[in-house]
Structure 1
Amino acid sequence: DTLIDDVLTYALFPQVGLKFLKNRDNPAAFEPAPGAELDNVQPSTPAKNKPVATGPASYSVRVDGKVYEVEVAPTGELSSVKPVVSENIPGSASVTGSATLNAPLAGNIWKIVTKVGAEVKRGDVVIIMEAMKMETEVRAVADGTVVNIHVAAGDAVSTGDVMISFD
Structure 2
Amino acid sequence: MVIFETERLVVRRFGPEDGELFFQVNGSPEVMHFIRPPKSREESDAFFRENLDFYLDHSLLGRFAVFAKNDGAFVGTFSYLYLSGEADFHLGYALVPGAWNKGYATELVRMGIPYFFENTPHPVVHAIVSPENHASQNVLKKTGFLYKERSEQAGSPVDVFYINRNLGTGSAIAGR
- Decide: shared fold, TM above 0.5: no
Higher helix share: 2
Q: Could you say which TM-score interval applies, normalised by the shorter chain?
A: under 0.3
TM-score by length of 1: 0.26
